[in-house]
Amino acid sequence: MKKEKEDKKDFQEGIELFEEKIDGKHHLLVNMGPSHPSMHGIIKIILELDGELVINSEVEIGYLHRAFEKTCENRFWNGVIPYTDRLNYCSPIINNVGYVLAVEKLFGLEIPDRCKYIRVIMSELARIADHLTCIGAAAMELGAFTVFLYAMKAREYLYELLEDVTGARVTNAYTRIGGLKADLPNGFTTKTLNALDKVKEVIKETHALLTGNRIFIDRMKGVGIVSPEDAIAWGFTGPCLRSTGVDYDVRKAFPYLVYNEMNFEIPVGENGDNFDRYLVRMEEMIQSIRIIEQAFEKIPSSLPTTEGLEYEPAKIIEMAKKGLVPEDKDTLKLLLPNTLEGIDAEKIRDICSSDKSAVLEPKEEVYTNIEALMQHFKLIMNKHGIRPPEGEVYFPVEAANGELGFYLVSKGEDKPYRIHVRPPCFAILSALPVMIKGLMVADVIPTFGSINMIGGELDR
Amino acid sequence: MAVESALIKFVKEKFPNFVISTHSFRNDDTIVIRKEGLKQVMTFLKTDKNTLFNMLVDITAVDNLGSEPRFEVIYHILSLTLKLRLRIKVPVEEMEAEVDSITSIWPGANWFEREVFDMFGIIFKNHPDLKRILMYDEFEGHPLRKDFPLKKQFPRIQMREVKTKY
């Protein structure tokens, strides 16, 4: 009996610690996060609750801060690319593309058409993967675990494609200043179109599971509403802005790469609530698939590979180990896969600019030609390196979450003087307290999920 | 730069006292203004029908260590209706590292200004809640300043007391 009383007293004291008396009412302070099952990413939301109503809230970020900008000031221009992978880790290729486009703007570099198309294809693949992750995770938090698994399945098809091209599933680091790491592998078109067919199926299934689902609609519709005026004032971009009815898309408003040649639509919502954000994302995936299909029709083809005449490097090594010599050793040509960094010198000009101040010479030339070797060393040696002209540029691209901008300052040195990233979800998340004010605690979860916060780009 | 864009000309004529210099490197229109005129220029750019810069995209800063004035606060603004972009730069002295906050014009400036304060130590006057955002409260110094060493180490901080107020 006595113990029970003590327990009760302890409990009362504990409660009082977290309670605020405001206007005679008891308000409860609750920390949601930093490690909360529905906080994908590490973030803390401090909620001030009256019963189950959110009276006030504050968002605390910075748990994933890794000094991206400071680190980049101490890296070479090309060395920054792997760090950009870690910004939005759901769609790293878009970050790669955004960064190199900014540097190319600084240089005034022109890149070959094939390279532009490949960048578009890869960006759109990454965008679909990102939207699938967002929708899957948001649905899972509302109990729709099946959708999550389906979305992950579809994402896996896309990751396989990315792996074929870049060699990595997530941290791709695929682009280079003035070009790409490597060309598309043989048979990539058919493989992609097949995978996209399967993704379309998954999108259909997701529609069937969620769009008409009563539970899902009840949780999403009319929750987390933002007016278009508010959205613009808070700096919303991407699906969150478009869900309010504002048709701003960087790909249409300020076209880069070859987006102006593509035929696609900007899906917009009406109410700016969670359900519209979900629908906008679903429709954007369909549009991205359209862009990829068009890009495959329009992409200039690379030089034909003379299949059958070459040996694979591994085969030659095997033969050499056994002491064998190929019969046609005088005319022998090695078959290098397109995805290898040292692809044939003739073919690398399809995907890389020929500007010698920014792009490395092909490996083949470097090993056989003294000028190319010197050029190579000039670009990679300490205190030489790639040196863009002095100046400052801002380049925005449409990332999966909205406008991803890179602001670069160059002092004409081999290292950037300043790199600043404008992460799309930073501005959106700063408005979260406004979005969840007056809602229930349970509504915080879908609202937060539909923002698609990515810790990597938020905290940098 | 060779030709001034119409936008730069327009702002220059409107605020001859505040505009220090302009340039359009790689077609990025940039206007450097005095910090006294920041709020006035921004309000004008947001509301005037010839500019209508209704969205604040980004705020950041650059530390030009060794030159005067040391800091530059950089605003990127965007007009959704006219599809225009503009960069506004405000030079800030090291001794008097203070700028007016523009949260009253764009509420979205709140976190961006907190980040600049956190990383560069530039104070934004009349900001509703100016405190660190990415670093923790006990952190000393401002990491993106050029004189902040890359590999500086800090001791572990003490456990914080549980506060009732946030």
Residue B1 has a pLDDT of 44
Q: What is residue A199's predicted lDDT score, i.e. its pLDDT?
A: 92
For residue range A262-293, what is the model confidence (pLDDT) as tens digits?
899 999 988 888 999 999 999 999 999 999 99
Mean of the pLDDT values across residues B124-149? 88
Q: Are A14 and A130 members of one domain?
A: no
pLDDT at A408 (0 to 100): 92
Q: Give the pLDDT band (50/70/90) at residue A149.
A: very high
**Residue A334 has what pLDDT?**
66
Kindly determine whether residue A67 and residue B143, on different chains, have CB atoms separated by under 8 Å.
yes
Identity of residue A257: L
- b/e code A358-396 from CB counts within 10 Å (16+ = b): bbbbbbbbbeeeeebeebbeebeeeeebbbbeebbbbbb
% chain B with pLDDT above 70: 95
For chain A, what is the domain count?
3
Asked whether A339 and A362 are in contact (CB, 8 A), the reply is no
**Of A60, A93, A110, which residue is a domain's last?**
A60
Pick from A174-178, A354-358, A407-411: least confident: A354-358
Cα gap B77→A285, rounded to integer Å:
29
Tell me: do A368 and A419 sit in the same domain: no
Q: Do B134 and A233 touch (CB under 8 A)?
A: no
From A380, A398, A418, the end of a domain falls on: A380
The CATH number of the domain holding residue A126 is 1.10.645.10
CA–CA dist A173, A180 (Å, integer): 9
> Contact at 8 Å (CB) between A432 and A44?
no
pLDDT beyond 90 at A407: yes
Residues of B in contact with A233 (CB under 8 A): 54-55, 106-108
A65 with B134: Cβ contact below 8 A: yes
Residue in chain A nearest B82 by alpha carbon? A253
- Confidence band of B155 (pLDDT split at 50, 70, 90): confident
Whether residues A145 and A221 fall in one domain: yes
Please determine, for residue B8, whether its predicted confidence score (pLDDT) is greater than 70: yes
Q: Which residue in B79, B102, B105, B111 has the most chain A C-beta atoms within 10 A of its own C-beta, making it the best mutation to test that interface?
A: B111
Same domain, A423 and A277: yes
B140/chain A closest Cα distance in angstroms:
15
Contacts of A70 in chain B (CB under 8 A): 143-144, 148, 150
Instruction: Write down the pLDDT at residue A166.
Output: 87
Strands (E), B11-160: 19-25, 28-33, 55-63, 71-79, 84-92, 98-100, 123-125
C-alpha torsion sign, points A14, A18, A20, A24: negative
Domain count, chain B: 1
**Summary mean pLDDT of chain A:** 85
Does residue B106 lie within any of the structural domains?
yes
Element (H, E) at A397: strand A391-399
Chain segment A56-114, per-residue pLDDT in tens: 888 888 888 888 999 998 888 888 999 998 888 888 999 999 999 999 998 888 888 88
> pLDDT-derived band of residue B163, with 50, 70 and 90 as boundaries?
low
Cis peptide before A388 (omega within 30 of 0): no
| Arithmetic mean of pLDDT, A181-185 | 83
Q: Which residue range is the domain that position B112 belongs to?
A: 6-125
In chain A, which residue's Cα lies nearest the Cα of B78?
A: A235
Taking the CA atoms of residue B88, residue B93, residue B94 and residue B98 in that order, the dihedral angle to the nearest 10 degrees is -70
A229 with A371, same domain: the answer is no
Domain, as residue range, for A359: 313-380
Q: Is the pLDDT of residue A16 over 90?
A: no
Domain boundary among A11, A30, A60: A60
C-alpha distance from A263 to closest chain B C-alpha (Å): 20
In this structure, are residues A293 and A262 in contact, taking their beta carbons and an 8 Å threshold? no
Question: Does one domain contain both A17 and A143?
Answer: no
In a domain, A66, yes or no: no
- Asked whether the predicted pLDDT for residue A11 surpasses 60, the reply is no
CA distance B64 to chain A (A): 9
Q: What pLDDT does B74 receive? A: 92
Closest CA to A137 of A445, A382, A405, A425: A445
- The predicted-structure confidence for A234-260, as pLDDT tens digits, reads as follows 989 989 999 998 889 999 889 988 898
What pLDDT is stored for residue B166 in this prediction? Answer: 47
Residues A180, A105, B85, CA angle at the centre, nearest 5°? Answer: 130
pLDDT at B164 (0 to 100)? 56
Environment class of A278 (CB within 10 Å of its CB; exposed 0-12, middle 13-18, buried 19+): buried
- Examine the pLDDT at A20 and tell me if it is beyond 60: no
| Across B46-52, average pLDDT | 84
In this structure, what CATH number is given to the domain that contains residue B112?
3.30.460.80
Instruction: Return the bridge partners of A422, or none.
Output: A405
Q: Among all residues of chain A, which has the CA nearest to that of B63?
A: A418
The larger pLDDT score, comparing residue B22 to residue A194, is at: A194
**Would you call A396 an interface residue with chain B, using a CB distance cutoff of 8 Å?**
yes
Q: Write the pLDDT tens digit of every residue in A120-137.
A: 999 999 999 999 998 998
Tell whether A104 and A50 lie within a shared domain. no
Tell me how far apart the alpha carbons of residues A333 and A321 are, in angstroms, rounded to a whole number.
19
End-to-end CA distance of chain B: 50
- Residues A234 and A156 occupy one common structural domain: yes
Per the model's pLDDT, the better-predicted residue between A344 and A200 turns out to be A200
- Find, in chain B, the residue whose alpha carbon is nearest to that of A66: B134
pLDDT tens for each residue of B56-79: 999 999 998 888 888 999 999 988
